[in-house]
Amino acid sequence: MRKILFVLLFVVAVPMLASAYEDSGIRFSDLHGQVAVRPDEEFDDAYEYADLETKLRYNDRIWTEIDSGAILSLADMSTFVIKENTVMVLPKPETQVSSIKILSGNVWVNMKKMVEGGEFHVELNQAVAGIKGTILTCRTGDDFDRIVCAQGRVQVRSKKTGEIVEIGPGEQVIVGGDKPFEPEKADLDSLEKEWQEDLDKMGSSLRNDELTDVLTARADLIQNQVNDLNKLFESVSRKASLQQNDLNLLERAARNISSELAEAKTLASQAQARGANADKPDRVMLVAAAKLTSLAAQAEAKVAAVLNFIKRSLVNLHKNPDNDRLDMLAEKAESLMAEFNQIRKEMETANGKSQSWFEDRAQEVSRLLEYVARLSEEASELSELFPGDPKARAISMTVGNMNKELARLLSSLRVVSIDYAAIDMLKNYEENISDSIEIYNREWDKYNNIDKESTTAQSKILTQSLRILGGFAKVKRQYDRAKRLYSGVMRSAASSRFKTAEHLEFEDLWKRVQDNFMSLSDLAGILQSRIEDLQNRINSSGKLRR
C-alpha cells in the first residue's frame, strides 16, 4: 500500500531543542475522527484517543485512523496537518537536531523557525530530507519516497547509498524503486489541490476568542515581516552598487512572507464564514479577520514588487558590473509604481471596507511617500549628473507624478472613524423602538376589542387610547435622541469620499429606526383623530343627560 507524506516548511525558524520536560509544548489545534497517541517505545495497546486538551510528549507516536485527521500547533504558530491513515513520531527530548519521523501516511508541515545553525530533518522510510526553512512535500511508500520542493532548497539523502541530491522550487526526487535518484519537474498545483480540504479546516475547532487571538498573532507576524522587508528593501535599494548577496537576502525575506499567506487567508476565511452564519456575529473576531485579510493583500503586493525588483536587478547585475545608477533608479521607480497600482486597484472596491482597513492603507501610502521623497532626491542628483538625458528626465517626471498621486490617495483614505459605542447606542435605540412597536400593537388590539357602543365603553376606549398615545410619546423621545446621535456622527463623516463598513452599518441602523418610527407615527395619527371624535361624542352624551 502506498503511504503518503506532505511536509510544508516555511523559511522562518522554531526552536525544538532538547527539553528537560516530558511535555513537548505541541498541541492539537484541530482534530476529527479517531486520532490516537502513545509513547513510541510502547506497544499499540497503549494508544489512547486524543482530544484538543491532550498534551503531547516528546517521542510520542500519533496515529490518525481512516476518515480522520488532525492539526498540530507549536507556540510560534508552526503547524503540522496530518491526513488519515498516518503515523508520525515527535522528536526525542535528547535530540540535538530538530526532527520528525514519518512511518506512514500524509503530513503537511509549516515550520516557522529553526534553531540558529540547526537543520530540520524529516525522516522517511527510504530517505532523510534536511531543511533550513523550506517548503516541501514528501510521499513515502514501502519501496520508494517522493520528495517535492515548493520553495527554497532541500537536501535529500538516500538511507541506502548515502548519496545526496539537492532540489529547488518546483522540483522533486524519488528515492528507492527503479527511478533514477535525480531532480525532475513536479506538479505543485495538483499537490496543493490534494491538500486544500485539510488546510481549510485550520482554526475550525477553535472558539471565537481563541480564533481571534490566532488571527491577531498572525497579523502581528505578517506586519513585522513586512516591516522588516521594507527596511531591508530600502537599505538595499539605496546602494549605488548591488551585490548578489544583497538580492539573496531580499528574496529570502520576501519568500518568508509569501509562505505565510496561505494559512493567514484560510484562518481569516474561517472567521468570516462564522460571522456570516451567526445570528450575532463576533465583531472583535471579524475586525481581526478583516485586518489580517488586509495585511495579507498588502504583503502580497509588496512581495510581488520586491521579486520584480530582484528579477530586473539580476539582469542589470550580470549586464553591467558597475550597476548603472540610472537603470537602478528606474527599477526602484517601477517597483514603487507596482505597489501604488496595487493599492489604487484595491481602492476601486474600498467602499464598505472596515475602518482598520483604511488606517492600514493610509500607513502604507505614508511609507511610500517617504520612499518617494528619497527617490526624488536621487533623481535630482542624477539629473544634474546627466543633464538632458531623456531617461533621467523621464525618471524624474515619474517620481514627481508619483508624489502627487500618492498625496491625493492619502487624502482620500482619510475617513472619519465611527466609534463602536455610537453604533451600539443606535442599535439599542433601534431595538427599543422595534420592541415598542410590538407593545403598541398589543395595546391597539385591546383598543379594537372594546365594545364601542356603550357610554361606559367609550370612556374605557378613551383611557386606553390616551395610554397608547402616552407610550408613543416615550418612543418619540427615543427617536429624537437617535436622530441627534445620527446627525452628529454624519456631520463629521460627510466629507469622506468613501463609506466604511461601520459607516454603512450606522446608516442601515438609522434607516430601520426611521421606518419603525414612521409606522408608529401613522398609527398614532389615526388614533389621535379617533380620540378627538370620541371626546366630542362623550361630551355630547353628557349634555343630553343634563
Q: How confident is the model at residue 465 (pLDDT cuts 50, 70, 90)?
A: low
Q: Across residues 455-465, what is the average pLDDT?
A: 64
Q: Which of 7-21, 237-251, 395-409 has the highest mean pLDDT?
A: 395-409
pLDDT band per the 50, 70, 90 thresholds, residue 14: very low
Please classify residue 131 by burial: count the beta carbons closer than 10 Å to its beta carbon, then call 0-12 exposed, 13-18 middle and 19+ buried: buried
**Distance of alpha carbon 16 from alpha carbon 114, whole angstroms:** 8
pLDDT of residue 370: 86
Q: Kindly state the percentage of the chain with pLDDT values over 90.
A: 11
Residue 54: per-residue pLDDT:
92
Mean pLDDT for 57-62 is: 93
Sign of the torsion angle spanned by Cα atoms 247, 249, 250, 251: positive
Q: Is residue 113 scored above 60 in pLDDT? A: no
3-state SS string for 76-95: CCCEEEECCCEEEECCCCCC
User: What is the pLDDT averaged over residues 265-270?
Assistant: 88
**Bridge partners, residue 139, by sequence:** 146
The per-residue pLDDT for 543 is 47
Calculate the alpha carbon distances from 88 to 41, 99, 394, 536 in Å: 13, 11, 59, 90
Q: Which helix (H) or strand (E) holds 178?
A: none
Structure confidence at residue 451 as a pLDDT band (50, 70, 90):
low
- Cell output for 56: 503531547
Instruction: Look over the chain and give the mean of its residue pLDDT values, rounded to a whole number.
Output: 80
Q: Residue 539: which pLDDT band, with cuts at 50, 70 and 90?
A: low
Indicate the CATH number for domain 23-196: 2.60.120.1440
> At 417, is the pLDDT very low, low, confident or very high (cuts 50, 70, 90)?
confident
- Tell me what pLDDT residue 466 has: 67
The percent of residues above 70 in pLDDT, for the chain, comes to: 82
The residue extents of the domains of the chain are 23-196, 206-412, 420-545
What pLDDT, in 10s, does the model give residues 68-107?
999 988 777 778 889 898 999 998 876 545 788 888 888 8
The one-letter amino acid code at 319 reads: K
Confidence check: pLDDT of 341 > 90: no
The rounded distance, in Å, linking the Cα atoms of 237 and 375 is: 10
CB 55 within 8 A of CB 72: no
Measure Cα distances from 293 to 212, 261, 279 in Å.
13, 9, 23
Tell me which range, 242-251, 357-366, 385-394, is most confidently predicted by mean pLDDT.
Answer: 357-366
Name, of 37-41, 347-351, 366-370, the range with top average pLDDT: 37-41
pLDDT value, residue 8: 38
DSSP-assigned letter for residue 124: -
Q: Exposure string (b/e) for 156-181, b if CB count within 10 Å is 16 or more? A: bbbeeeeeebebebebbbbbbeeeeb
**Is 70 exceeded by the pLDDT of residue 11?**
no
**Has residue 358 got a pLDDT over 80?**
yes
Tell me what pLDDT residue 234 has: 86
8: nearest Cα among 209, 150, 123: 150
Q: Is 217:79 a contact under the CB 8 Å cutoff?
A: no
Q: Which CATH number fits domain 420-545: 3.30.390, 3.30.450, 1.20.58, 3.10.50?
A: 1.20.58
Largest CA-CA distance found in the chain, in angstroms, rounded:
124
- Our measurement of the distance from residue 450's CA atom to the centroid of its chain's CA atoms, rounded to an integer in Å, reads 60
Sequence-separated (6 or more) residues with CB below 8 Å from residue 488: none
Half-sphere exposure of 17 (CA within 13 A, CB side): 8
* Contact between 55 and 27 (Cβ < 8 Å): yes
Contacts of 457 (CB under 8 A, 6+ apart): 450, 451
| pLDDT on residue 310 | 86
Is 464's pLDDT higher than 90?
no
Average pLDDT over residues 445-471: 64
CA 327/CA 312 separation, integer angstroms: 9
Report the alpha-carbon distance of residue 11 to residue 428 in Å, rounded: 49
All three cell numbers of 496: 469622506
DSSP secondary structure letters along 321-380: TT--HHHHHHHHHHHHHHHHHHHHHHHTT-TT--HHHHHHHHHHHHHHHHHHHHHHHHHH
pLDDT of residue 322: 37
Helix axes 390-412, 355-385, angle to 10 degrees: 160
Looking at residue 462, its pLDDT comes to 64
Helix and strand numbers, DSSP H then E, in the chain: 10, 18
Pairwise CA distance, residues 130 & 287, whole Å:
39
Write down the pLDDT at residue 350. 87
pLDDT band at 12 (very low <50, low <70, confident <90, very high): very low
pLDDT over threshold 70, residue 452 = no
The per-residue pLDDT for range 124-142, each reduced to its tens digit, is 888 898 876 667 677 777 7
pLDDT at 276: 86
pLDDT of 55 over the 80 cut: yes
The arithmetic mean of pLDDT across residues 376-386, rounded, is: 76
Query: Which pLDDT score, from 0 to 100, does residue 468 have?
Result: 66
Q: What is the pLDDT of residue 133?
A: 61
Q: What is the pLDDT of residue 449?
A: 66
